[in-house]
Chain A
Amino acid sequence: MIFRRRFLPTLALALAATAHADDASQYVRASWLNVREEPAKTGRIVANWPTNTAVAVAERRDAWCRGSAEGASGWVACEFLAARPLTLQPVENIYGDDPLRAFWIAPSAGRLRMVGRAFGASVLTAEQQKREAAAKKPIRFPLPQFDAMKRRLQRDVVPQFAQEVERYDVPAGTDFVGGDAAAAEVVKFLRAIDAPMLLPPARPSLFRRQSDMLFFPDASADAIVAMQGTPAHVAYAGSPEYVEGPYDEGVNGIWDIAEIRVRFAVGAVLQGVGRDGSVRGSIVDGRVLVGDWFGGTEGQCNDGTMLPAADHPLPGFEPVVDDGSLLATFYLPRPLASAQAEVLSRKRHATLPARNGFFDGVAGAAPRDLLVDEIDLDNDGRADLAVIELLDPDGTRSPDHSRRWQFVNVDGRWWYAGELRIYECD
């Protein structure tokens, strides 16, 4: 019997990233803008400026602008400069409707992977596809833009936390903004069960900034790098494979590679709290993004992007083991001070909303019991995390499957930070 965790996207408003520069600056609105010695396409290329680079423009000549940025100066096509930097749309576009554009605005390993996955056979000409199909092996023709993206990630990129992690302001009752229907259903559900009233009063305690903690379900490599604020080392490995089969035939990979390996500058602190208040800890050095969305071997239970539960022991703590016993698992910038937290649990009654597509098979309003856990990590008498778990109709907890909604107290305010769904894999 194998248990896997499936993580639904968290929901909340992610703040759009903005670049900062003085008012006279123009911003690059192209992906990888060539900077030339002369105001002509024949001019020698002296530099490349990526999206949103702030360019101090000194002169304009016809369609060409002379400017300086990043220690270089030269001529660029004015049409690729604008008064404002580009931003991602909130929440739904962590990876963007247009992954190519999303990458250039907010470069990250995850977005590069989405771009690579989006490059299907359609980027090949008919003749190239024919050749590939005949050879039954991947033939990857150069895609200069993808190469430019790979180079971009080598420039010490640090994603912004707010762009990588979505949280929902529970007490504000702000409407959810985003395109994820599943997340919207969660919000409806939390409202219906009056989730804010189920949580204890929030008072400032351990976490003062959003980036002070990262729930395990949110922990993409990009999110961890954003939390750490230090660039990670990104490497590209492997080659695409040609998969033959009646159901899935074709090339499997991230365009011309198979893996993007991210190694954190410093090991990420992974901690977990058991229901008995015991705290575990491990250090995670890096993460491997595999080429296939599902990993290709274990079906949908393996999403192919999960971090290893633990790489190294964290002194003073028992290691984090993904055995289903932990109430909450999360990353921190630095280890907790104590290996013992306090967990207070209560059972609360709620009526699941009628006509709720969120719960299959529940046609009408249905009474159910919930388990509400408050977790005080620093033993100051103030809850730092909270978990609401749906109990089975008979009021019991099932070790095989459960649905938990996780909350974090950031400077005296509860933020909904995503759903953890545990179910049994076949």
Chain B
Amino acid sequence: MEAPAAFEAVDMHGTAPADLDRAFAWRQVHVSTPDASAREPLVVTLTPAGDAPPLVWQPAARTVRPIQPPGDALPGARVDELGEFGDGLVPARVQLPASKSSAAYAVWGYVDLNGAWVIPPRLLDAGAFQRGVAVVRDLDGLTHLVDKQGRMLPWQPEDIAWGLDGDPFTRLHVGRLGRWVRITQSNALAKGKDGQIEPGEVNWLFDGLTVVHVPGVNALASADGELWVVLSEGDRKLWTPKQGVVPAPAPYTPSRPLDANRFVAPSARAEGVALVDRVSGAILDPAPAIVAALTPSRFLACTTGYSEDNFQPHDVGRLVGPGVGDKRCGVLDNSGRWWLAPDYATIDRWGADTLVVQGEQQACVVRLDADRPDCRRGDGPLPRFDLGPAVPRSWRYADADGHDAWTGRYHEAWPFAGRVAVATADSLPGLIDDKGRWLTPRVEGNAFARAHALAAVAPRMGRDWYREGVGLIDRGGHWLVPPVFATIFRLPDGTLAACSAGVPIYEMRARCDHVDASGHVLASPVPPEEAPIASAAATPADSGHEHVPTGPVAVARNGRWGFRDTKGAWTIPPRFDDAWDFEGDRAAVAIDSPAPASADNPGAPTRRWGLVAPDGHWVAEPRFESLGRFQGPVAAARAEGQFGLVDRDGRWVAQPDFTSISQFSGGVATATRPDGTICTLDPAGRCSGPAGLVELKRGADTWAVATVKDGKAGRPLTGYLDADSRWAIPPRYQGAEPFSGATAIVRDALPADPPDWARRWVTIDVRWSAPARLAIVGAVHPSAVDTKTPPSYALADDQGRWLLLRRSASSPNP
């Protein structure tokens, strides 16, 4: 068995602090995560290696208090283990001695930061508090949620265990409230040896509400632990404490709810998962593949799929590293929009709400719980990773101009926090100052830093690979909104949403803005899903060609077609091989005749179409290869592989000179010539339109979107044709949508001189944060650096001086 690590408390000069009146060997150390803005003190709990009680140490207040068993504990009871800090409480375990009625056993409770019992030790197990609640197991082994007063909340997660008794394989426990625990089969089996599964894949879901997923049961609990809703198992009903049983919202996906309108689904396009709108089913992230949920409302996403074995999005450490190709990662919000533009090749997690991101232009620390990504540079030289041909690839520190701040190269390098930064050389991290000098001996393991800073983010002007944007024009072809957005889409209320989601043309436009029909950006952007459905100012959608039979209806009985009247009586007995309904006094019918077998289609019959009158006699003998439904006075017919139009007697109105004829819409059809050019075909058979048309897109609007080949560049250009097939707006756009109301959405080159609002600087106040070491060490003080590799721990201040050092048994004076 491995000997416990020993620690020694020292002050920043390496001597034992006066408030810790004895040098001690500590078996266990936890460091709190103080909220600096609330001026919470840094608290350290120290568990000695021997039988002495653990201590609660507040360095700033210079107080040290032992944690003793509560007064009503049995004689001989002692506190022997502490859990992680959470919400100002620390789980503490009391070892109770054997008595006449029971064997020795241990119970858990919670103490505050002064070491006083808040929840007495009456629990079999106790997890860290989080958002006001903790998961505990009572002495019957049942799992509960408790609040900070120790009250059992009216909800019991169904703790389900899988496995063979005595030979466990997959033992699944609800991790802790606020986390949706999903344990994959591989994790289960990989970690099943000890019968206990670490919540290896923990997804944070939902802002304000949290989702606790237990196989067989889905429950939503509010942040304060109140049970909000239970999605029942089989009857699609919801249960809420306030409303009782209500019908389930429809449709919902029980296994992975995110919020009322979002869920996470496997992405069909790449590794990872995608955000899906549960109402429309639309995938909300337009291009990237989501890698993981970072927080309830922040999702790590990359421009190409990214997956890595043993990826732990909630552990402090590297989430995305510099790699092959042009993969760039950013963060989506739970509307599927870029919250942090995908500009970063390296992303490290420093804590529950903090990322350190590294791109070509900047390295910065962002707070995930901020409304906007407040990316700011470090306090000194910036770490840069050389992606180019430099051998060996390494990190360096660069000044504002990108030049080496000094010559050092590092295996890992983190931004400066205050006067120090953590860098790794020869796989050993240490602290360096802003001259590149090592402040500390390099210690084993990872290290993280923390500070406060301000920075500004400049909008990133059009990148080389994004030279086009989407804007809005009026009927005169004038720009209402210059083409600076990645996308614009119409909303039910007639307004438009303009977004740069997925295309970081201008970083500050990372969210959608709403634009009215005149192109004015509305003052208060409304998320698209919340936009009111008002009377539409846009052109109504084309309802298509409505077909209403005006005569006997074609019906087949056992494969033979005839016609029936409205009472179901046969007016023409079934004798045809295919038929369309009567349109007035004409119906198209088909007769099959055996054809000589060919190599391509052995024995297939030859089908020919003609026209019959209501009494069944032939008006046009069956000679057409196909004959469509009449659309007004004409129908499209095919002869010798080419399409034309025929009248109601089967005579050609437009000769069969076309490779295809579309359905009629707005009184005209689109016909395609053998050379690929197209024209507008009217019922009289006239084919009109500008030369060189290669695409014609008609909506309900009288103007059609028309595309021609640009003779010079050879690329397609798009404009608008009016109802007379004349250019209303000549072809000059890269792409266009049909007009709706007064406006149309078009794509064009980015403007050389974008408007001021598109190039504003964004100054965001973001606080750098300490890493919250989820596994063992809780966090560090704002002015401290925490280093850890189990089983060694250490704590240094931001000047690089040690506060707490590991003391090796073989080397008592490091």
Contact = CB atoms under 8 A, between A and B. Distances in A.
B431 interface: no
Nearest to B557: A344
B162 A31 contact: yes
A87 B164 contact: no
A122 B164 contact: no
A100 B236 contact: no
B570 to A, nearest CB: 12
Contact of B164 (A16, A92, A145, A185): A145
Interface residues of A, number: 73
Interface in A45-63: 63
Given A87-B234, A92-B255, A181-B265, A276 B559 contact: yes
A277 B559 CA distance: 8
Contacts of A249: none
B658 interface: no
Contact of B558 (A29, A342, A367): A342
B62 interface: no
A89 B251 contact: no
Given A87-B234, A354-B541, A101 B557 contact: no
Interface stretch (B108-116, B166-174, B315-323, B458-466): B166-174
Contacts, number: 174
B541 A90 contact: no
Nearest to A354: B541
B812 interface: no
Contacts of A122: 186-187, 189-190, 309
A227 interface: no
B557 A343 contact: yes
Contacts of B235: 16
B663 A87 contact: no
A76 interface: yes
A76 to B, nearest CB: 7
Interface string A83-107: 0001101101100011111001000
A200 B434 CA distance: 81
A426 interface: no
Contact of A175 (B250, B254, B546, B663): B250
Interface in B562-581: 580-581
B167 A343 contact: no
Interface stretch (A206-214, A239-247, A345-353, A403-411): A345-353
Nearest to A174: B250
A32 interface: yes
A20 B276 CA distance: 38
Given A87-B234, A100-B170, A346-B554, A177 B251 contact: yes
Interface string B308-337: 010000000000000000000000000000
A98 B163 contact: no
Contacts of A175: 250-251
A118 B185 contact: yes
Nearest to A176: B251
- Candidate in A78, A145, A176 with the most chain B CB atoms within 10 angstroms: A145
A101 B162 contact: yes
Given A178-B253, A275-B558, A367-B663, A396 B626 contact: yes
Contacts of A80: 161, 165
A144 interface: yes
Contacts of B545: 367
A188 interface: yes
Contact of B251 (A119, A123, A184, A274): A184
Interface in B691-719: 699
Given A86-B216, A119-B189, A178-B251, A365 B544 contact: yes
Nearest to A1: B600
A144 B170 CA distance: 12
Contacts of A100: 162, 170, 185, 188
Nearest to A188: B281
Given A41-B165, A177-B236, A354-B541, A343 B556 contact: yes
B629 interface: yes
Interface string A175-203: 11111010011001000000000000000
A29 B541 contact: no
Contacts of B556: 275, 343-346
A179 B164 contact: no
A89 B189 contact: no
A394 B628 contact: yes
B253 A92 contact: yes
B547 interface: yes
Nearest to B164: A32
Interface of A: 13, 15-16, 18, 29-34, 36, 41, 63, 76-80, 82, 86-87, 89-90, 92-93, 97-101, 104, 115, 118-120, 122-123, 143-145, 148, 175-179, 181, 184-185, 188, 274-277, 342-347, 349, 351, 354, 357, 364-367, 369, 393-396
| Interchain residue pairs A-B with the least CB separation, the first 4 | A16-B234, A175-B250, A122-B186, A345-B556
25 contacts: A18-B234, A29-B161, A34-B164, A79-B141, A80-B161, A86-B160, A86-B216, A100-B162, A144-B169, A145-B164, A145-B170, A175-B250, A177-B236, A177-B254, A178-B253, A181-B268, A188-B281, A275-B559, A345-B557, A346-B553, A346-B555, A349-B629, A364-B542, A365-B541, A395-B628
